[in-house]
């Protein structure tokens, strides 16, 4: 790709035992690949590194933008989304805000028996996706189990 970039992420952590490093390296690489793939960002290679006080990942051949795709999010039925006058209700406004689009960009699509409100989202720049790779910026914060990383201690502040 013409605009391939190298993504480097370094994280300072409190001292962790050296025995944790092999699994940490594997998890960091797997999670980075997963975040990029799940968000439609092409890449050539992901390599993870770790020392007792630093974690790092380098992804090469990373595309600057996601692959082109349209995501459809099914929302409230038309009767709940728009009044009889055709004005958006709180349900439509909230649905549009949830998906980061303007209310006027909502479309009505036939789905089974009822018509449903649809929000279409376009691609996202890598700079916004990379936020998913960052742990909490608060000093002393640690990655939780739901984020998929098991750690020895909090991140360095």
Encode pLDDT of 81-100 as tens digits.
Answer: 899 998 999 999 998 888 88
Q: What is the DSSP string of 9-53?
A: EEEEBS---GGGHHHHHHHHHHHHHHHHHHTT---SEEEEEEETT
Residue 131: which CATH number? Answer: 3.30.70
- Each residue's pLDDT tens digit in the chain (157 positions)? 456 889 898 989 899 999 999 999 999 999 999 988 888 888 999 999 999 999 999 999 998 877 776 777 888 888 888 999 989 999 999 988 888 888 888 888 876 444 455 555 555 555 555 565 555 444 444 454 555 555 555 555 4
> Is the pTM value of this prediction over 0.85?
no
Q: Give me the domain span that covers residue 109.
A: 71-121
Are residues 84 and 115 located together in one domain of the fold?
yes
* Total number of domains in the chain: 2
């Amino acid at each position: 790709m013409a605009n391939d970039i190298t993504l480097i992420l370094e994280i300072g952590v409190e001292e962790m035992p050296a025995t944790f490093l092999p699994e940490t390296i594997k998890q960091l690489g797997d999670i980075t690949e997963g975040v990029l793939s799940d968000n439609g960002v092409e890449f050539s290679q992901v390599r993870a590194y770790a020392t007792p006080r630093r974690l790092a990942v380098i992804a090469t051949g990373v595309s600057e933008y996601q692959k082109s795709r349209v995501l459809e999010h099914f929302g409230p039925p038309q009767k709940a989304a728009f009044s009889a006058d055709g004005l958006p209700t709180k349900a439509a406004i909230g649905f549009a805000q949830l998906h980061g689009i303007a209310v006027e960009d909502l479309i009505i699509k036939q789905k089974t028996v009822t018509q449903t409100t649809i929000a279409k989202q376009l691609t996202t720049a890598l700079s916004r996706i990379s936020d998913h790779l960052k742990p909490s910026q608060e000093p002393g914060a640690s990655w939780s189990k739901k984020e998929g990383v098991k750690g020895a201690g909090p991140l360095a502040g």
